[in-house]
């Protein structure tokens, strides 16, 4: 509710004031945990360091010309920003045992931004799911909806959606008492009142994300399996899973599970008393829902991995020759599964 923070200070102070106790008394409610703090910070730094070469590579002409990579680059920017807050900043707060009233302005503003970034990422993920489904079912639809610069106009929607959550809904505020983020800034203290700080828009967002992503990526998996079996039977190679099929199914499943777990745990935390370890699990899955894509790009996406290796590592001449031969071989292979492919015949996702 940044609108109240900026324009309605009296209404804001009724909900987020720190006058009930002295600063020293507020700080004593906190529970310093150097282990959890270090884990959060290390996770965040790892994601940030690995994400930058991925973003740099995605910004290149080879990838950014494709609509799916425009959306994924946008998601990457959101991820890097949110990881800084929910991993590195929250790790600092956990290490020092901070609660809301130790740094009220910093915690409130960073919490509002991270909440908006999460919701922007949710809508962008649903948009990416639509892009993938259209590409598999009817490539003409994908080109009509997302071709050229139209993908950038689509990205206005998640940007405005995230701004709505930043300005008009309560933020998720970190507390070292449970080492997680809650809408109630006083959680774990005598001043707590969970009912006042419930955010129904956030809960609805998470429920819709769970339903849409599970449905969309289930469709992706089913379509890929059916088309792969058709191609395999046509080439008399049996009904075994192709490398492309395994890749897309693995990517879709992993992305869905990370977002599904994070959304489910945070919905549960707002309404049901949650054990301390589950709050930490929820925080780490939230971090992973933003940073986990890095490992998908590096380990499951051959196109991305090869391009990162080419740009940031020394390549041997025979490796380039081998890659060129592989490109030529697969370019001559007749397949119409996707219009968004790299030179390996892999769906570039």
Q: Phi then psi for 20, rounded to 5 degrees?
A: -70, -35
Q: What is residue 49's predicted lDDT score, i.e. its pLDDT? A: 96
Q: What letter would DSSP give residue 277?
A: H
Residue 147 in contact with residue 71, Cβ under 8 Å? no
| Contact status, residue 281 vs residue 322, Cβ threshold 8 Å | no
Domain count, the chain: 1
Residue 343 lies in a domain: no
How far, in Å, CA of 203 to CA of 207, rounded?
6
Residue 336 within any structural domain of the chain: no
Residue 189 domain flag: yes
In a domain, 347, yes or no: no
Residue 242: which domain range? 2-16+27-331
pLDDT on residue 46: 97
180's CB contacts (< 8 A; 6+ apart) are: 174, 269, 279, 280, 282, 283
* 91 closest CA partner among 46, 27, 38, 48: 38
DSSP, collapsed to helix, strand or coil, labels residue 312 as helix
Residue 339 falls within a domain, yes or no? no
Q: Which value, in Å, is the radius of gyration of the alpha carbons in the chain? A: 23
Six token digits for residue 101: 């009233």
pLDDT tens per residue, the chain (349 residues)? 898 999 999 999 999 999 999 999 999 999 999 999 999 999 999 999 999 999 999 999 888 988 888 999 999 999 999 999 999 999 999 999 999 999 999 999 999 999 999 999 999 988 988 888 887 788 888 888 998 889 999 999 999 999 999 999 999 999 999 999 999 999 989 987 777 888 899 989 998 988 888 888 788 778 777 877 776 666 544 445 455 545 655 666 676 677 777 887 777 776 676 777 888 988 998 999 999 989 988 888 888 888 888 888 865 544 444 444 444 444 444 444 444 444 333 444 4
212: domain CATH number?
Answer: 1.20.1070.10
pTM of the shown model: 0.84
In a domain, residue 349? The reply is no
Domain presence at residue 184 = yes
- 22 inside domain: no
- Answer whether 290's CB lies under 8 Å from 258's CB: no
């Amino acid at each position: 509710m940044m609108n109240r923070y900026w324009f309605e200070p009296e209404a804001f102070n009724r909900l987020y004031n720190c006058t009930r106790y002295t600063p020293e008394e507020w700080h004593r409610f906190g529970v310093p945990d150097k282990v959890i703090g270090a884990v959060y910070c290390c996770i965040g730094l790892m994601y940030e360091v690995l994400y930058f070469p991925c973003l740099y590579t995605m910004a290149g002409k080879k990838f950014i010309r494709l609509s799916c990579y425009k959306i994924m680059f946008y998601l990457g920017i959101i991820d890097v920003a949110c990881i800084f807050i929910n991993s590195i900043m929250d790790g600092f707060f956990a290490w020092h045992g901070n609660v809301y009233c130790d740094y009220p302005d910093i915690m409130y503003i960073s919490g509002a931004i991270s909440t908006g970034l999460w919701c922007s990422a949710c809508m962008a993920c649903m948009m990416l799911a639509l892009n993938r489904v259209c590409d598999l079912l009817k490539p003409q639809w994908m080109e009509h909806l997302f071709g050229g610069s139209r993908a950038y106009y689509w990205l206005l929607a998640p940007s405005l959606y995230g701004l709505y959550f930043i300005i008009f809904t309560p933020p998720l505020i970190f507390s070292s008492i449970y080492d997680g983020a809650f809408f109630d800034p006083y959680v774990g203290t005598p001043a707590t009142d969970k009912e006042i700080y419930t955010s129904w828009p956030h809960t609805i967002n998470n429920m819709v994300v769970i339903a849409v992503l599970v449905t969309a990526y289930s469709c992706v998996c089913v379509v890929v399996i059916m088309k792969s079996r058709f191609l395999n039977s046509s080439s008399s190679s049996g009904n075994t899973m192709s490398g492309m099929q395994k890749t897309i199914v693995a990517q879709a499943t992993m992305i869905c599970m990370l977002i599904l777990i994070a959304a489910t745990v945070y919905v549960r935390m707002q309404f049901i008393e949650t054990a301390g370890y589950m709050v930490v699990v929820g925080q780490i899955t939230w971090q992973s829902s933003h940073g986990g894509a890095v490992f998908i790009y590096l380990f499951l996406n051959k196109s991305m991995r090869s391009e990162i290796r080419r740009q940031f590592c020394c390549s041997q001449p025979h490796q380039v020759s081998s890659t060129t031969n592989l490109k030529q071989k697969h370019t001559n292979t007749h397949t119409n599964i996707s219009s968004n492919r790299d030179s390996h015949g892999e769906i570039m996702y």
